[in-house]
């Protein structure tokens, strides 16, 4: 618990988590509000339409989580951290936990905030959360943000540079996973197994012939993340700080 408290203090005494929070919540809820305000026509506003801003929030979370560890390398405070807590695995796990918890909370606020904003602003809606699937698609955002934050922290530990880690994460999520699908013949099959495509299945409505169901997709995403985290912790323990 001491370690968690330490990392919580470190995280909230710098500025980047604060502006990340404002940006992630502001833009996601803001987009949902705009969707609500501009919506008209015969078809009621759907749950999917209220949640599209959460994709943006995910990018902000990735950046925030990566920065939480790369700035420690940038300012060499990681050395102070390892001096105070020589068990590097424990220190980094504590950081990962705190960042992931923050990301989860932000994800829930962003998702339910978007849902509520659209419900309030739009006139013709069909936004009742009735089925388990409905709940998964809104409340699931928090889980996704939390696990994605762990992945970003792991990448941050491995790359150690803000610019590099952020570029890798954003280009991977937004571009590479989409481009892969364009490769003739094999592309689509590979794409099914890419981690953030799995996230889309979890937050969406995958058909019965999808390679993995929604919860299995989330488990797969968590598994990929765990592998990355183990690799990151292993390399951090071996490396000179």
Q: Which residues bind other proteins (CB under 8 A)?
A: 16, 31, 34-35, 38-41, 45, 49, 52-53, 55-56, 59-60, 63, 67, 70, 162-163, 166-167, 170-171, 174-176, 179, 182-187
| Phi-psi group of 232: left, alpha or beta (phi > 0 → left; psi -120 to 50 → alpha; rest → beta) | alpha
- Say which residues have a Cβ less than 8 Å from residue 180's Cβ, sequence separation at least 6: 187, 190, 191, 194
Shortest approach of other proteins to residue 106 CB, angstroms? 16
CB closer to other proteins out of 100 and 173? 173
Shortest approach of other proteins to residue 100 CB, angstroms? 20
CB closer to other proteins out of 93 and 168? 168
Angle value at C-alpha 223, between 97 and 18, nearest 5 degrees = 30
CB closer to other proteins out of 6 and 71? 71
Rounded to 10°, the helix 2-12/88-121 angle is 60
CB closer to other proteins out of 58 and 222? 58
Shortest approach of other proteins to residue 208 CB, angstroms? 26
Tell me how far apart the alpha carbons of residues 215 and 136 are, in angstroms, rounded to a whole number: 9
| Phi-psi group of 183: left, alpha or beta (phi > 0 → left; psi -120 to 50 → alpha; rest → beta) | beta
CB closer to other proteins out of 185 and 209? 185
Shortest approach of other proteins to residue 59 CB, angstroms? 5
Contact between 121 and 37 under an 8 Å Cβ cutoff? The reply is yes
CB closer to other proteins out of 132 and 186? 186
Shortest approach of other proteins to residue 227 CB, angstroms? 24
Contact between 115 and 32 under an 8 Å Cβ cutoff? The reply is yes
Phi, psi of 24 (to 5 degrees): -60, -45
Shortest approach of other proteins to residue 18 CB, angstroms? 14
């Amino acid at each position: 618990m001491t370690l968690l408290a330490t990392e919580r203090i470190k995280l909230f005494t710098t500025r980047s988590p604060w502006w990340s929070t404002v940006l992630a919540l502001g833009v996601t809820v803001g987009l949902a509000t705009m969707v609500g305000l501009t919506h008209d026509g015969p078809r009621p506003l759907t749950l999917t339409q209220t949640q599209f801003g959460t994709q943006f929030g995910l990018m902000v979370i990735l950046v925030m989580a990566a920065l939480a560890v790369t700035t420690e390398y940038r300012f060499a405070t990681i050395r102070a951290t390892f001096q105070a807590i020589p068990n590097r695995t424990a220190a980094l796990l504590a950081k990962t936990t705190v960042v992931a918890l923050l990301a989860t909370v932000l994800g829930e606020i962003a998702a339910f905030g978007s849902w509520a904003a659209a419900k309030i602003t739009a006139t013709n809606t069909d936004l009742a959360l009735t089925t388990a699937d409905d709940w998964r698609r809104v409340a699931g955002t928090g889980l996704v943000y939390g696990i994605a934050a762990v992945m970003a922290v792991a990448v941050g530990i491995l790359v150690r540079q803000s610019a590099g880690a952020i570029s890798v994460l954003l280009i991977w999520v937004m571009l590479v996973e989409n481009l892969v699908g364009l490769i003739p013949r094999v592309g689509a099959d590979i794409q099914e197994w890419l981690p953030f495509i799995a996230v889309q299945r979890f937050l969406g409505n995958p058909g019965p012939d999808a390679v993995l169901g929604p919860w299995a997709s989330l488990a797969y995403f968590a598994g990929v993340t765990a592998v990355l985290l183990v690799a990151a912790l292993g390399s951090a323990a071996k490396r000179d700080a």
